[in-house]
Structure 1
Amino acid sequence: MTEFEKDLLAYLQEGIPIVENPFTTIAKKLSVTEDQVIESIKKLKNEKIIRQISPIYDTKALGYDSSLVAFKVKDIDKAVSVINAHPGVSHNYERNDDFNIWFTLAVPPDSKIGLEDTVEILADLSEAEDYVILKTVKMYKIGVKLTFNRLDEKSENGNRTSSSEKVNLYEIEKNIIKVTQEDIPLDPRPFNIFADRLGISVYTLLHKLNQFKEKGVMRRFAAILYHRKAGFKANGMTVWKVPEDKADAVGEYFASFKAVSHCYLRTVNGKWSYNLFSMIHGREKEEIEDFVEKLSKETGINDYKILYSTREFKKKRVRYFSDEFKHWVEAVINGKRSGANIQG
C-alpha cells in the first residue's frame, strides 16, 4: 500500500463525515482530489482490504438482545450451516478450545422466543455437546481500528465506550437504519442516493444520521477491513480470570492499547470462569503472545487463555429490522428443524 492509502484507511476507520459530500471533505483533509479518494476506495475494496463502509449501529440501543455464545461440537460443518443461517449471527469463528465454535448472536426486541431459547434451538440443531452464553456485563472498548505499528501503542484519547440504553425509534428512523446499513455508494453524493430510496430529503437524512451519533444509536460511520489483507494475520481473543474488585482497572488498562479492539466484562457460570475478554490483533502469533505476557506481568493476572481464530465462517453486519428474523422463527415454529431449512 502507498502512504496515501495507509492515511486514507486510518481516516476511514475513524469515521467518515456525515455530510452531503463526504468524499470531498476527506479529500481536503488529505490534500488530494475527490476522484482520488473515490478511486482509491474502489481499489482497496477490489483488493479485499476494505470490507465495507457503513454505519456501525449499537445493538443494545436498537433494543436487540445479544450475546457471545460458544458451542462444543463434533460436526463443525453441520454446526456452521445451522448457526450461519440465523440472521442475527454476525461473527462466527472456530477457535482453539474445547468450546470450538464462537459466534455473536442478536435477536430483535419483538422476538417470540428470545435469545436463550434461540441458542437452545441452535444447539439442538447443531447437535452441540455443550454451550455457554456469555453476556456483556460491562463494555470497556469496542471498535476495530488497525492504525498501529506496535501492539503496545496507546490510544491518544480515551476509548472507553459505555453500553447504550435502548432508544425509542419512529418507523421512519427504523427505515433509515434499514437502508443506510448497506455499503455506502461510491458516488460524490452518496447520501442523496439513500435519501431517494427512502423518499425523504437528503437534509432530513443527514440530520437523522447525525442525531443517531449524538444519541449513541450509531457508534460511527466507518470502514471495516479484511484484517488479514491489511497485514493483521493473527487474531487472539484473550480471556482472563480477573478478581471482581480489579475488573474495572484491568479492563480500562487493556482498553487503552490500540491493538485491543474489544474489551468486555462478561458473565461466568459453572462451565466458563474467564470473565474479562480482550480481542487483540497482531501480525503474527508470537507478537500477540509476547504482548499478552507483558499485560499479564503488568497486571498480575496469570490465569488466562489466548483463543486464536483458526477459521472464519461468517463476518457480516446484522441487518436490523429485517423480516429475516421473523421468517427464521416461523420456520422453527412450523417444525422445519433441519438447520439449513431455517433461513430468511
Structure 2
Amino acid sequence: MDTVERILLNTVQTAFPVTSHPYQTLGELAGVSEEEAWQSIIRLREEGIIRRLGGVFDSHRLGYHSTLCAGKVPEAKISEVAEYLNGIPGVTHNYLRPHQYNMWFTIIASTKAEVEKILDKVRQIAGSDEVYSLPAIRLFKISVDFNFKEDDSDSDTAISSSKAPGAWESSQAETIEITERDKALIRLVQGDLPYSLTPFAELAKALKWTEREVLDLTQSMLERGLIRRFGVVLRHQKAGFTANAMGVWPVAEDHAEEIGAKMAEFREVSHCYQRPTLPDWPYTLFTMIHGRSVEDCQNVMERIAQATGVEDYRMLFSQAELKKSSMKYFVEAAID
C-alpha cells in the first residue's frame, strides 16, 4: 500500500465526498490528480481491501430492529445453522468464538416478530433452546475507522480516534419519517457506488433524477442521521488488521453508563454497547477491538481495565467468520 492509498483510506472510511467530482476533492487532499485518486480507489476495491463504498445506515432510525444473538450450538450442527443464517439477508455477521456460547450473529429485521421467528428456527436446527437475543440497552460508540498512517504515530494499534457519541438508550431510539424518495435512494447507496469519476451522476441516471437532487438528498440523510457515515467498508484482514476480539465486562447497572463512556473513549474500541445478561452470562458491557495482532488486542484490554478498574473480563477472539455482509433495507423477502 503506497502513501497515496494510505492518505485516501484515512479519508474515505468516514468522509467520502458527496460532490459532483469526489475524486477531484480526494486528489487535492492526497496531492494527486483526480484520475490518480480514482485509479487508487479502484485498485483498492479490486484488491479486496475495500469491500464496499457507499452509505452505512442507522437501522433504528430507519425503523428496523437490530440485535446481537448468542447461541450454544452443538459442533455437529454448526454447518447447518450457518447455512440457514447465511441465506437470510438480515443476518449480517456471524462468528464462531471460543466459549460455550460459541455462535454470535447479528440480525436486522423490520419487526421484532421477524427476529424471534429466525431465532426459533435456529433453536430448532441446533436442537438447543439456548439461543438468545441480546439487544443494545445503551450504545456508547460505533466507529470502525482504521488509521493507515505509515508511522502509526498517534495510536498504539493504529485505529484512529472518533469521539464517542454519548450514551444512546434503547428507549431514546428515534425513528424518523422515511419518504418514498428516501427509500429509492437508500436502495442504491446501500450497495456499491458505481465505478465512475462522477458516481452520483450515475445514480441520478438510474433514478431519473438530477444529480443535484441525489447530492442534496444524500446530504440530507447524513444530517438527519439516517446515514451514519458515507464511505468505504474495509476487509480488516486484507487491510492488515488480522485480529479482532469481543471484550466483555461484568459491570453493575449503576456503573454501566459511566464506565461504558470511558471505554468508548479508547480509540481502539470500534463498538461499545451495554446489553442484557443471562443466567450463565454476567457480562453487561461489550467492546469490539481490532488490532494487527492478538497482542495488540490484549494490550488494549489491559489498558481499559487499568483505566476503569474493571479487571474481571473476557476476550472472545473470532475463531471463524461464517458471514459478513451489509444490510439491504426496504427490499424485504419472507423468512421461511
Distance of 2:87 and 2:159 partners within structure 1? 38
- Corresponding residue number in structure 2 for 1:291: 300
Task: Work out whether residues 95 and 103 of structure 2, in 8 Å CA contact, stay in contact via their aligned partners in 1.
Answer: yes
Give the superposition deviation at 1:255.
1.3
Structure 2: 5+ residue stretches without partners: none
Task: Work out whether residues 96 and 310 of structure 1, in 8 Å CA contact, stay in contact via their aligned partners in 2.
Answer: yes
Distance of 1:233 and 1:13 partners within structure 2? 18
Q: TM-score, with normalisation over the residues of structure 2? A: 0.91
Give the superposition deviation at 1:287.
2.0
Cα distance change, pair 155–228 in 1 and its aligned pair in 2 (3 A): closer
Cα distance change, pair 221–80 in 1 and its aligned pair in 2 (3 A): same
Give the superposition deviation at 1:3.
1.6
Task: Work out whether residues 152 and 257 of structure 1, in 8 Å CA contact, stay in contact via their aligned partners in 2.
Answer: no
Cα distance change, pair 126–191 in 1 and its aligned pair in 2 (3 A): farther
- Corresponding residue number in structure 2 for 1:50: 50
Task: Report which stretch shifted further, 28-37 or 213-222.
Answer: 28-37
Map 1:1-344; keep pairs closer than 5 Å. Answer: 1-74=1-74, 75-109=77-111, 113-128=113-128, 130-147=130-147, 149=152, 150-151=155-156, 158-160=163-165, 163=168, 164-324=173-333, 326=334, 328=335, 332=336
Distance of 2:218 and 2:122 partners within structure 1? 35
Q: Which amino acid aligns with 1:195?
A: A
For residues 11-64 of structure 1, the C-alpha deviation after alignment (integer angstroms, 9 at most, x for no partner) is 111221111111111111222111111111111122221111110011001100
Distance of 1:292 and 1:143 partners within structure 2? 17
Give the superposition deviation at 1:238.
0.3
Q: Which amino acid aligns with 1:91?
A: H
Give the superposition deviation at 1:270.
2.2
Give the superposition deviation at 1:274.
0.6
Task: Work out whether residues 157 and 296 of structure 2, in 8 Å CA contact, stay in contact via their aligned partners in 1.
Answer: no
Task: Work out whether residues 82 and 126 of structure 1, in 8 Å CA contact, stay in contact via their aligned partners in 2.
Answer: no
For residues 184-214 of structure 1, the C-alpha deviation after alignment (integer angstroms, 9 at most, x for no partner) is 1121110111111112111111111111111
Distance of 2:5 and 2:246 partners within structure 1? 28
Distance of 1:273 and 1:96 partners within structure 2? 16
- Corresponding residue number in structure 2 for 1:336: none
Distance of 1:312 and 1:152 partners within structure 2? 22
SS of residue in 2 equivalent to 1:246: helix
Distance of 2:187 and 2:162 partners within structure 1? 32
Length, aligned pairs only: 325
Q: Which amino acid aligns with 1:37?
A: A
Distance of 1:275 and 1:85 partners within structure 2? 30
SS of residue in 1 equivalent to 2:318: strand
Q: TM-score, with normalisation over the residues of structure 1? A: 0.89
Task: Work out whether residues 155 and 256 of structure 1, in 8 Å CA contact, stay in contact via their aligned partners in 2.
Answer: no
Q: Which amino acid aligns with 1:168?
A: E
Give the superposition deviation at 1:290.
2.2
SS of residue in 1 equivalent to 2:71: strand
Cα distance change, pair 153–180 in 1 and its aligned pair in 2 (3 A): closer
Give the superposition deviation at 1:153.
7.2
SS of residue in 1 equivalent to 2:310: coil
Taking only aligned residues, the RMSD between alpha carbons, in angstroms, comes to 1.8
Distance of 1:33 and 1:128 partners within structure 2? 58
Cα distance change, pair 125–157 in 1 and its aligned pair in 2 (3 A): closer
SS of residue in 1 equivalent to 2:137: strand
Query: Percent same amino acid at aligned positions?
Result: 34
Give the superposition deviation at 1:157.
5.6
Cα distance change, pair 162–25 in 1 and its aligned pair in 2 (3 A): farther
Task: Work out whether residues 246 and 288 of structure 2, in 8 Å CA contact, stay in contact via their aligned partners in 1.
Answer: yes
